[in-house]
Amino acid sequence: MKTHIKLSLLLTPAIFLLAFWILALSSSDLLASIGLLKMILWALLLSFGAAYSITLFVSEILKQRGSE
């Protein structure tokens, strides 16, 4: 469990840059309505969730590959 969180934290910045770019630059109305700080927090939450999902998926693939 701790390993998944550590690996997710390492992967989060890469996904954060993409998520922030998509959220901030694709919809200027959204940025104007909720503000920059909330937009950054949403992008951070979204990127950590995606990174955690990716690490869980990869660990399951490696478990299945190791058991064969």
Q: Helices 2-26 and 36-67: crossing angle, nearest 10°?
A: 140
Q: Hey, what are 61's tokens?
A: 């693939």
Summarised one tens digit per residue, pLDDT across range 9-38 is: 999 999 999 988 887 777 667 777 888 898
User: Domain residues for 39?
Assistant: 10-67
Instruction: Yes or no: say if 12 and 44 are a contact pair by the CB < 8 Å rule.
Output: yes
Classify residue 37: in a domain, yes or no: yes
Domain count, the chain: 1
Classify residue 2: in a domain, yes or no: no
Residue whose pair of structure tokens reads 């503000």 in the numeric block: 35
Instruction: Yes or no: say if 68 and 41 are a contact pair by the CB < 8 Å rule.
Output: no
Q: What pLDDT score does 12 carry? A: 96
Cβ neighbours for 59, distance < 8 A, ≥ 6 positions apart: 4
pTM of the model: 0.82
Classify residue 5: in a domain, yes or no: no
Classify residue 4: in a domain, yes or no: no
Classify residue 1: in a domain, yes or no: no
